């Protein structure tokens, strides 16, 4: 069949029209379903944002969505193997470029000292444990006295911080970064710490939310500070997710820095760099230099040789392909997960994680009401009852840290034995609900622990001189909304 130029032109025009019409409809000032105008009270009734540009949190890089083989990827050794191979997918997220430093932590403590000047326990509880440097048969007093406070260690990783303290820092960091945005946009006024302290000194602790900005209570705080009962929608203005510790899967995926090419990985990696050597082999200028600080053998620390110190500055060694520094060596890093020897086998395929401990869904109902215009307390109580009882937002919470945590030593055939139902001997092999994973290897670990698949655990209240952390943040939306990609 012969196609004339006129018909061909008409077909091409229709294709162009269809393609353009889609772009012209979505994101316009009118509803593509009803035709009513957005954000124009005289021509419509719906106020809505249609544009969104995802912000990059300060000090972080975006780790793109992908999949990888999680678990052991080096030659078997005699130590316990609790990281069996399996392919998993990871949602895109943000991660700190560097480990949290002593200066970062001192900033946090300085804020607590200013706000809670009348209650020293608030900031004394946040101090790192400097005695982690003490050792019975070694002279480490100089580090006990100087590592956290001295200017020369300002950009070294903070240590002596528990998993719980790290989580509290993440919450504080979320609040401060969102508060700064609101101040910069002139939505709220800046208040120095002396003023905040004066406001809360005579207030009940339950009333601190009137004077201290927290992201969890942002709507009530803004109404209190601005007097505006119709608080504007904050989506896309402040950060849409919170700082937190990375999950074990996120940390491991980011550590390899193996950026996929056309959805494929060209090589597998044993460390956060290509090859099997602990020295630089590709860069001619750096060839032969160590890529991380670790223990080569008994009494032989590469950090002592390279930098004349045990830990090093968080930017001392080159980053991996994602731009993340010290994902091997320097200090181990806390991750979000509860430890189980069977974690890799039991968790999900997409963003696997063990450690969920959900609060009551009634808190979600409160969040819905917070976003609505203010109402009398009697009406609010009635609406909350409606959401909880009729809409079924009533889940009382669920702790699933033990969900399907059985292993071959504590299960029979295909049955799964939960931690709470196990005998003391069985529980000893399954660890506990407060055992948290840490990864990465440190200045005092042998090279085998620098492999990102390696995993160890410590109680979430414990502290050590070779464990620090970095923060992560979930990314809202897809690649289209990443402003640096």
Torsion angle of C-alpha atoms 116, 242, 328, 434, degrees rounded to 10: 70
CA distances from 380 to 29, 220, 362, 370 (A): 34, 14, 13, 10
Domain that holds residue 117: 60-187+232-352+442-481
pLDDT at residue 458, as a whole number: 92
- Quick one: which of 100, 104, 79 has its CA closest to 341? 79
Q: Are residues 1 and 93 in the same domain?
A: no
Identify whether residues 76 and 30 lie together within a single domain: no
254 in any annotated domain: yes
Classify residue 417: in a domain, yes or no: no
DSSP state of 390: I
Same-domain status, 41 and 164: no
Give every CB contact of residue 86 below 8 A, 6+ residues apart in sequence: 69, 70, 71, 344, 345
Question: In which residue are the tokens 């050792």 written?
Answer: 135
Instruction: Report the pLDDT value the prediction gives residue 9, as an integer from 0 to 100.
Output: 52
Is residue 200 helix, strand or coil? Answer: helix
Nearest alpha-carbon partner for 447 in 305, 318, 292: 292
Nearest partner of 293 among 97, 454, 446, 99, judged by Cα: 446
Going from the C-alpha of 324 to that of each of 7, 131, 328, 469, the distances in angstroms are 56, 29, 10, 13
Same domain, 2 and 70: no
226 in any annotated domain: no
Q: Do 34 and 87 lie in a common domain?
A: no
- Residue 30: phi, psi to the nearest 5? -125, 155
H-only helix segments in 293-411: 302-307, 343-346, 362-371, 377-385
CATH number of the domain that 79 lies in?
3.90.1580.10
Question: Number of folded domains in the chain?
Answer: 2
Domain presence at residue 374: no
Both 334 and 298 in one domain: the answer is yes
Q: How far apart are CA 417 and CA 409, in angstroms?
A: 10
Same domain, 120 and 171: yes
Residue 258 CB: number of other CB atoms within 10 A?
A: 21
Triad 471, 476, 480: Cα angle to 5°: 120
Q: Are residues 312 and 455 in the same domain?
A: yes
Domain assignment of residue 259, yes or no: yes
CA distance linking residue 185 with residue 390, whole number of Å: 39
Cβ contacts of 419 within 8 Å, gap of 6 or more: 401, 402, 405, 427, 430, 432, 433
Is 192 a domain residue? no
Q: Is residue 266 part of a domain?
A: yes
Query: How far apart are the C-alpha atoms of 126 and 128, rounded to whole Å?
Result: 6
Residues 5 and 74 in one domain: no
Same domain, 164 and 303: yes
Q: CB–CB of 91/249 below 8 Å?
A: no
Structural domain contains residue 348: yes
- Shared domain for 112 and 167, answered yes or no, is yes
In tens digits, what is the pLDDT along the chain, a chain of 485 residues? Answer: 454 555 545 444 444 444 444 455 566 788 888 889 998 888 888 888 777 777 889 999 999 888 877 777 665 554 555 667 778 889 999 999 999 999 999 999 999 999 999 999 999 999 999 999 999 999 999 999 999 999 999 999 999 999 999 999 999 999 999 999 999 999 999 999 999 999 999 888 888 989 999 998 888 898 888 877 767 678 788 998 999 999 999 999 999 987 665 555 545 678 888 777 777 667 667 666 778 898 888 887 787 777 888 999 999 999 999 999 999 999 999 999 998 876 555 567 888 888 888 765 566 777 778 777 778 888 888 888 888 777 766 555 678 888 777 655 444 444 456 666 777 766 666 678 899 999 999 999 998 899 998 889 999 999 999 999 999 999 987 765 554 43
Same domain, 322 and 248: yes
φ, ψ of residue 110 in degrees (nearest 5): -60, -40
**Total residues found in the chain within this entry:** 485
Supply the pLDDT for residue 11.
46
Enter the tokens of residue 41.
Answer: 């009270």
The encoded tokens of residue 448 equal: 């085998």
């Amino acid at each position: 069949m012969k196609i004339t130029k006129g018909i061909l032109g008409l077909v091409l025009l229709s294709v162009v029209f269809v393609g353009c019409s889609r772009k012209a409809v979505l994101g316009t000032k009118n509803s593509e379903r009803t035709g009513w105008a957005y954000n124009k009270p005289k021509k419509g009734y719906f106020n809505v944002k249609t544009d969104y540009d995802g912000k990059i949190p300060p000090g972080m890089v975006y780790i793109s969505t992908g999949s990888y083989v999680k678990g052991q990827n080096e030659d078997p050794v005699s130590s316990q193997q609790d990281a069996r191979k399996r392919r998993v997918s990871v949602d895109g997220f943000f991660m700190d470029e560097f480990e949290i430093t002593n200066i970062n932590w001192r900033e946090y403590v300085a804020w607590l000292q200013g706000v809670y000047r009348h209650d020293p326990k608030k900031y004394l509880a946040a101090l790192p444990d400097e005695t982690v440097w003490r050792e019975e048969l070694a002279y480490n007093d100089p580090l006990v006295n100087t590592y956290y406070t001295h200017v020369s260690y300002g950009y070294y990783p903070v240590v002596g911080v528990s998993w719980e303290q790290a989580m509290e820092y993440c919450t504080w960091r979320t609040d401060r970064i969102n508060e700064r945005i609101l101040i910069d946009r002139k939505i709220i006024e800046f208040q120095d710490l002396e003023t905040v302290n004066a406001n809360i000194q005579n207030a009940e602790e339950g009333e601190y939310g009137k004077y201290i900005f927290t992201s969890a209570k942002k709507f009530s705080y803004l109404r209190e500070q601005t007097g505006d009962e119709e608080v504007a929608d904050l989506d896309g203005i402040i950060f849409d997710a919170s700082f937190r510790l990375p999950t074990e899967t996120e940390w491991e995926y980011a550590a390899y820095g193996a950026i996929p090419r056309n959805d494929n990985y060209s090589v597998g990696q044993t460390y956060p760099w290509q090859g099997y050597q602990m020295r630089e082999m590709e860069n001619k200028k750096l060839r032969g230099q160590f890529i991380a600080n670790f223990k080569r053998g008994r009494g032989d620390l590469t950090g002592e040789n390279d930098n004349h110190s045990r830990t090093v500055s968080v930017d001392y060694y080159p980053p991996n392909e994602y731009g993340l520094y010290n994902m091997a060596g320097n200090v181990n890093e806390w991750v979000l997960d509860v430890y189980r020897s069977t974690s890799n086998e039991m968790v999900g395929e997409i963003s696997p994680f063990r450690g969920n401990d959900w609060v009551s869904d009634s808190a979600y109902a409160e969040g819905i009401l917070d976003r609505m215009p203010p109402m009398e307390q009697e009406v609010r109580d009635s609406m909350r009852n409606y959401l909880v009882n009729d809409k079924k937002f009533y889940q009382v919470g669920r702790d699933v840290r033990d969900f399907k945590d059985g292993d071959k030593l504590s299960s029979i055939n295909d049955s799964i034995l939960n931690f709470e139902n196990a005998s003391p001997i069985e529980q000893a092999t399954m660890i506990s609900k407060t055992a948290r994973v840490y990864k990465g290897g440190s200045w005092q670990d042998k090279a085998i622990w620098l492999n990102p698949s390696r995993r160890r655990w410590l109680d979430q209240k414990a502290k050590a001189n070779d464990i620090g952390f970095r923060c992560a943040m979930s990314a809202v939306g897809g690649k289209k909304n990443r402003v640096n990609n």
